[in-house]
Structure 1
């Protein structure tokens, strides 16, 4: 029995520099989303086969620190030219809302959810942290359709590997997780694919769209197991970092941001 009709796989890329920690005021620079739906859902809500329906992708122009670091470009492959001509975060949200409305997920007038859908990410950071930070920097509230708990795919894969006995020969990754019962072990996307005996990563690591496509592959495989696909990570829209000032101000010293 599956509680959701649709799944939105998100993998954010954001501004960064060498050595920056999780408390840095990251700005979103790529917003890719893969929409998945059931293709075998019965009247009583049972399903196990997910298929990709559509993709949304936009680069995002940062406004607090519009110049990308060399480290960020090398990591993500996103160039200064890519973001200089991109819409800002509020504009991207408008385009994304049109995408959601087109696929019947939200009401085009109110933005209220029209169907049961859930955001899915590799780890908790994409919406829980990056969206919250970006909303402060852009001085806008988090849209209602982005509020709600999320499915952390990484956590689901680790829990599955730690709790079940695979009929197929175990990969070294799966065996290690089962042996140590590390349900919250950090597993990069290529290791998750390996643990599920899926073909290797396709595309470029840290390209948001390629990451999202591969995470979608993992979710499709998870749906084939007895797993009930449901939230396992909370979003904290009111979370605050030390650098958040009133009115969207960013109190982050320039000396702490290398060129």
Structure 2
């Protein structure tokens, strides 16, 4: 039996263009930062986080991106900078973990496995898109697993 009681699902949407290079070589910017906290015992979503993020490297969304994601130009123009979205996410995450006595893996010496984990479709969300964008924008590594 696994020790996990909760999962945090994250699924970024990012700038994209038709016929662009493979995901690991793209210079995408996150334009939507959603997360949900799911109770694995009940299957219920207990908390949600959501921010639209304003792209700055290529601020104009492509028609392909708008068609694929459904996100409109005016939505991202009203969005927040990535650093603001990350800070808000970290605060939301701390609050939700604390309220439920949850621990992510490797965050506690007494509970190294934790009882909550992140779920993404692939390594692209955190490992490629967010990591590369933070590096390009000189945003410190304040990722949840580094808290």
Q: Which of 66, 73, 86 matches 1:80?
A: 73
Q: Which of 21, 42, 52 matches 2:45?
A: 52
TM-score, normalised relative to structure 1:
0.47
Show structure 1 runs of 4+ deviating over 6 A. none
Contact 2:38-2:44 within 8 A present in 1 as well: yes
Deviations 1:62-121 (A, max 9, x none): 111111111111111111100111101100011111211221359xxxxx9576422101
Contact 1:16-1:26 within 8 A present in 2 as well: yes
Q: Which of 16, 20, 29 matches 1:27?
A: 29
Of the two structures, which has the highest relative contact order with CA contacts closer than 8 Å and spacing of 6 or more?
A: 2
TM-score, normalised relative to structure 2:
0.80
Corresponding residue number in structure 2 for 1:4: 4
| Structure with the bigger percentage of strand | 2
Structure 1, unpaired ranges of 5+: 40-48, 107-111, 148-259
CA distance in 2, matches of 1:140, 1:20: 25
Tell me the matched-pair count. Answer: 133
CA distance in 1, matches of 2:143, 2:124: 18
Corresponding residue number in structure 2 for 1:38: 40
Structure 2, unpaired ranges of 5+: 100-105, 109-113
Superposed, 1:141-180 pairs within 5 Å as: 141-146=140-145
Corresponding residue number in structure 2 for 1:135: 134
Structure 1's 72 and 53: CA in aligned 2 closer, same or farther, altered over 3 A? same
For the aligned residues, what is the CA RMSD?
2.2
Contact 1:105-1:117 within 8 A present in 2 as well: no
Contact 1:59-1:87 within 8 A present in 2 as well: yes
SS at match of 1:104: helix
Pick the structure with greater CA Rg: 1
Deviations 1:151-200 (A, max 9, x none): xxxxxxxxxxxxxxxxxxxxxxxxxxxxxxxxxxxxxxxxxxxxxxxxxx
Corresponding residue number in structure 2 for 1:103: 96
